[in-house]
Structures are given as C-alpha cells and as structure tokens.
Amino acid sequence: MKEIKVILSPEAEEIFKYLQKTDSKIEKSILAAIKRKTELIKANPHYGNPISKRLIPKNYKEQYGITNLFRVELPNFWRMLYSLVDGETKIEIIAFILDISDHRTYNKRFGYR
C-alpha cells in the first residue's frame, strides 16, 4: 500500500497557522475539522468531492500544475481544496492542500455568485 503524505501550500499553511492562534470557538472547530479531514484523506486519498477538470481555477493549474482537485467541506461553510500528486518515490502519494477558505472566498475563486 502506498504511503499518503499531506503537504500544505504556503497559502493554506498561513490560514492553518492563523486558526491555531485564534481563541474563537468557531475557528477552533474549523481547525479540529481540518485535522480530522486530513486523517481521513490519509486513509482514503479520494475522500473529498472531485471537482470537474474544467472548473479547476486557472491560477491553480498555472501555479501548481495540478490536473485534479478535490473539495472537503468544513464547519461554517469553509472549504479545503486538495490535489493528489505523485511523490518522489513510486510508493507514496502526496495530498497537496492548496487552500483553506471561507464560503465567500471559495465562491469568488470558482466564479460562483
């Protein structure tokens, strides 16, 4: 069985660090959910909802060269987006978390109203 590693993009890491420092109960629940969902992704890399290739934001394709994207829903309508990429060896998969965002930011990124 292949090992699954989870890596955060710089943008996702910034949000993660912010959530770790906050005292808000809501944001603490979002942080706890991120940790739980990360473990679920490690157990099943296809855990999230797949996003159609034509809907993947252009900046994700250009900046990270991704060809697949998955969405995981978090509390308070937050979303976590990740992509699966091959690791450095043939026995690992990397779940690359691209973004952790609130509902408004998510909608803007995908052009929803």
Say how many Å lie between the first and final Cα of the chain, rounded: 41
pLDDT at 21: 94
The stretches of the chain forming alpha helices (DSSP H) are 10-21, 25-43, 58-64, 103-110
Domains in the chain: ranges and CATH = 3-110 (3.30.2310.20)
pLDDT in tens, the chain (113 residues): 678 889 999 999 999 999 999 999 999 999 999 999 999 999 999 999 999 999 999 999 999 999 999 999 999 999 999 999 887 777 778 889 999 999 999 989 888 87
For residue 55, give both structure tokens: 């809907």
- Non-local (6+) Cβ contacts of 67 within 8 A are 53, 61, 83
pLDDT at 10: 93
pLDDT at 85: 86
For residue 29, give both structure tokens: 């629940």
Other CB atoms closer than 10 Å to residue 103's CB: what's the count?
14
